[in-house]
Chains A and B, each alone.
Chain A
Amino acid sequence: EDQVTQSPEALRLQEGESSSLNCSYTVSGLRGLFWYRQDPGKGPEFLFTLYSAGEEKEKERLKATLTKKESFLHITAPKPEDSATYLCAVRTDYGGATNKLIFGTGTLLAVQP
């Protein structure tokens, strides 16, 4: 069964303290791994798409990497405004045009000043 697991469930950092969030997946055929940021009471905001092992994407203090089994979202010198829930999702190769995503449960990040 296709599955996406995110860890940790929650992470508290001091401002400037770098860390990483993990997204591990078991899918039959990966067609893309997506990272989103979600603020309380709002819809998820798209951050990155990664398609193949070894690929990396960066945006400000965030860097996403991908291996054959997992993805990491590295946060360098975080600021309080980086506090949010970070969601990971995968799109698998079902052989048909289903275009569905499977989501993890998210990591709640709190950055304290």
Chain B
Amino acid sequence: DGGITQSPKYLFRKEGQNVTLSCEQNLNHDAMYWYRQDPGQGLRLIYYSQIVNDFQKGDIAEGYSVSREKKESFPLTVTSAQKNPTAFYLCASMVTSGGPQETQYFGPGTRLLVL
């Protein structure tokens, strides 16, 4: 089945620790995105990538880092510089060739909690 997978489903971070969230897609989509979701707030864009080996900061990139070495994969690292990391993290992907297929599809999410 084609889709977007995120792992783990739950992740616990200790003080001063960097953690990496995985996002993989087999939809052959060019663009990939990371969002953060907090209660009562809309999805906020952390980073996005429209092509392999290239990515741009979103609205709340501080304390996060990404890489895009393969088309299928877009991992997100939450660094110790992110002081309030507890949130639900969503990965999305989108085809960018034009037309009605240009819709962002989401993975199941990873909930990050701080110990």
Binding site for B on A (CB under 8 A): 4, 32, 34, 36, 41-46, 49, 87, 89, 91, 97-106
B64 adjacent to chain A (CB < 8 Å): no
Complex Cα spacing A94 to B58, Å:
15
Are B102 and A32 in contact (CB-based, < 8 A)?
yes
User: Measured between C-beta atoms, what is the minimum distance from A108 to chain B in Å?
Assistant: 10
Are B111 and A41 in contact (CB-based, < 8 A)?
yes
Binding site for A on B (CB under 8 A): 4, 6, 31, 33, 40-43, 45, 48, 50, 56, 58, 88, 90, 94, 96, 100, 102-109, 111
Complex Cα spacing A43 to B96, Å:
21
Q: Which 4 A-B pairs have the closest CB atoms?
A: A43-B106, A103-B42, A103-B43, A105-B42
Contacts of A97 in B (CB 8 A): 50, 96
